[in-house]
Amino acid sequence: MKAIYQDTVLAEAPQDELVRIEGNWYFPPASLAEGQFAPSPTAYHCPWKGDAQYWTVGSGDDVLEDGGWSYPEPIPSSFERVGTDYSGYVAFDPRVTVSE
């Protein structure tokens, strides 16, 4: 599967390597395109996943503020609910196209 913003591939991995949480596909850290992610100062806390890290995605003039998010250190009890450790996996804003 691919995550694409404008014409830029942000992440690419086989579907069986992704994790689906609350309707969002989370891409593993190794699948992320180098140079397409910058940390955002936006803060968010999910009561069952923990503190999120937001990302500005894309490059040049084609960037999307807070276009991705991850949970660098999820609450460990969430792994049972999700079915796997998804630390550092990145999900994307609906303006990012995720498809096969």
Length of the chain as a residue count: 100
- Across the strands, what pairs with 17? none
Q: What is the pLDDT of residue 79?
A: 97
Q: What is the pTM of this model?
A: 0.96
- Domain of 55? 2-99
In sequence order, what DSSP letters do the residues of 19-84 get, joined into one string?
Answer: EEETTEEEB-GGGBPTTSEEEEEEEEEETTTEEEEEEEEEETTEEEEEEEEE-SS--THHHHHHTS
* Count of the separate structural domains present in the chain: 1
Q: What is the pLDDT of residue 61?
A: 87
Model confidence pLDDT, tens digit, residues 26-56: 999 999 999 999 999 999 999 999 999 999 9
> Which domain CATH number covers 66?
2.170.150.40
In this prediction, what percent of the chain has a pLDDT beyond 90?
95
Q: pLDDT category, 60, cuts 50, 70, 90?
A: confident
